[in-house]
Amino acid sequence: MVNSIADNLTHVRHRMEAAARQARRDHARITLVAVSKAMPGAFIREAFTAGQRDFGESYVQELKAKADLLTDLALTWHFIGHLQRNKAGHAAAVATTIHSLDSFPLAEALHQRATRPIDVFIEVNLGNEASKSGVATNALLPLARHVIALDRLRLRGLMGIPPFAADPEQSRPHFRRLRLLHDELQQKLGRELPDLSMGMSHDFEVAIAEGATIVRVGTAIFGERTAKI
Ligand SMILES: *Cc1c(COP(=O)(O)O)cnc(C)c1O
């Protein structure tokens, strides 16, 4: 029997709480973003009914379509995919948070189009040769300085996706490195960056052990994506 979305959510939340307890962290400081890309609006409704409020999408068209379909729900949209500059306005109109800021021009486009403050994460390239998403570590400080000078963008922290490995322990050194980069950046900027967005279905417990404050979980809640996204 396939578990319901509500059951899956309960299970994921319990696993998050256990991971937080083991790391002696307050689980209330860790937010679950349910990644609903490639899933129908009905699934989002089901998760909402089960108490889930934060949802993540990777494609602007899909985000817009779902936001239009679900205007009656008081939910919070997170944009987590690669964002093109010419679509920044559409993403900023719907999402409260952009997890994938990776360039000056994109930061400027978001700032120009935003009609209210937008929370942003700078995505760091954690060494996955195949995916070029995220900034190189040497570009991080200049981009962060630029972002904090834009008053409609609120820099929350860093986001990263380790190269995929079946064993979640393989993600640990990447999460640790992101955490160190985050700490270093706070020092260099002389300001607090309150969040660290890292961990997905197969490795969110390791991410919590390494300091994640936001985990982005899709498959463990909604099941396997059949569409090739
Ligand atoms: C798809 C996606 C996720 C969720 O992945 P799962 O393995 O299904 O949990 C998280 N973060 C990003 C950036 C994604 O694109």
pLDDT in tens, 63-94: 999 999 999 999 999 999 999 999 999 999 99
Nearest atom (ligand 1) to Cα of 219: 8
Residues recorded for the chain: 229
Mean pLDDT of 154-159: 98
Which H or E run contains 144?
helix 137-148
Residue 129, pLDDT score: 67
If you measure from the C-alpha of residue 216 to the centroid of ligand 1, how many angstroms do you get, rounded to a whole number? 6
Both structure tokens of 71: 């205007």
Residue 133, pLDDT score: 85
Specify whether the CB–CB gap between 70 and 47 falls below 8 A. Answer: no
Mean pLDDT across the chain: 95
Residue 30, pLDDT score: 98
219 ligand 1 Cβ < 6 A:
yes
Angle (CA) 70 114 31, round 5°: 55
Mean pLDDT of 4-25: 98
Distance CA 187, CA 190 (A): 5
Distance CA 127, CA 130 (A): 9
Helix 104-113 crosses helix 137-148 at what angle (to 10 degrees)?
A: 20
Give the pLDDT band of residue 101 (cuts 50, 70, 90): very high
Distance CA 78, CA 155 (A): 14
217 ligand 1 Cβ < 6 A:
yes
If you measure from the C-alpha of residue 4 to the centroid of ligand 1, how many angstroms do you get, rounded to a whole number? 19
* Phi, psi torsion values for 99, nearest 5 degrees: -90, 0
201 ligand 1 Cβ < 6 A:
yes
Residue 106 has pLDDT above 90, yes or no: yes
In a 3-state reduction of DSSP, which class is residue 116? Answer: coil
Model confidence, pTM: 0.97
Nearest atom (ligand 1) to Cα of 33: 10
Residue 127, pLDDT score: 79
